C-alpha cells in the first residue's frame, strides 16, 4: 500500500494548510530553531516553505554524490541493500538546533542515519518531523531518544 503526498502538492490550499499545521506545531514546541534539514527528496518539498515561515535556513541531506565540497557521509541498511546519505561538512555549526523533515517514516533507517549525521556535526536534533508514519513498521523506535512527530498515522 503506497501512501502518496502528490494530491497534497497539487492542491495549493491543502499544501498551505499542511505547512500551517507543521509551522504551528514547531512554534508551539520549540522557542528556538536554527535550521530545518530535509531528506532527499521529498523532505525538499516541505522543508523550504516551512523554514521560510519560521524565518530559518534550510539544509540538504542528500543521497551520496550529489553535494559539492567536503561532506560527511553515512552508510545505512535498507530492506533491499544499503544506501548512503551525505551532508555538507559546514552545513551546521556545533550546538545548532535542527529539525529534520521528510514526507514519510517507514522503517526509520533513513531518518536515523540523518540523525547520526547531525550528531557527527555536533548539532542538536530537536525533532524528526514527518507527514505520514506507517506505525506497523515501528520506525519511530529506531530513533531512540530523539523526539518524533507525525501528522498522520497508519497501521
Within 10 angstroms of residue 113's Cβ, the number of other Cβ atoms is 21
Q: Is 42 a catalytic residue?
A: yes
By CB atoms closer than 10 A (0-12, 13-18, 19+), residue 29 is middle
Please report the sign of the dihedral spanned by the C-alpha atoms of residue 63, residue 129, residue 131, residue 55.
Answer: negative
Q: Which of 23, 27, 42, 133 is catalytic?
A: 42
Q: Name the active-site residue from 3, 79, 120, 124.
A: 79
Say whether 79 is catalytic.
Answer: yes
Phi-psi region of 102 (alpha: psi -120 to 50; beta: other; left: phi over 0): beta
Structural element, H or E, at residue 74 = strand 71-78
Give SS3 for 2. coil
Catalytic residue positions?
A: 42, 79
Amino acid at each position: 500500500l503506497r501512501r502518496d503526498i502528490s494530491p497534497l502538492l497539487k492542491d495549493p490550499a491543502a499544501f498551505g494548510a499542511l505547512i500551517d499545521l507543521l509551522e504551528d506545531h514547531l512554534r508551539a514546541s520549540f522557542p528556538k530553531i536554527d535550521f530545518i534539514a530535509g531528506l532527499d527528496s521529498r523532505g525538499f518539498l516541505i522543508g523550504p516553505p516551512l523554514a521560510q515561515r519560521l524565518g530559518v535556513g534550510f539544509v540538504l541531506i542528500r543521497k551520496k554524490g550529489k553535494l559539492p565540497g567536503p561532506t560527511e557521509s553515512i552508510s545505512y541498511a535498507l530492506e533491499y541493500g544499503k544506501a548512503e546519505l551525505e551532508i555538507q561538512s559546514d552545513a551546521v555549526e556545533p550546538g545548532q538546533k535542527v529539525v529534520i523533515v521528510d514526507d514519510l517514516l517507514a522503517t526509520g533507517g533513513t531518518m536515523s542515519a540523518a540523525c547520526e549525521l547531525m550528531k557527527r556535526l555536533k548539532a542538536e536534533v530537536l525533532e524528526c518531523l514527518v507527514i505520514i508514519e506507517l506505525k506497523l513498521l515501528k520506525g519511530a523506535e529506531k530513533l531512540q531518544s530523539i523526539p518524533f512527530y507525525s501528522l498522520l498515522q497508519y497501521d
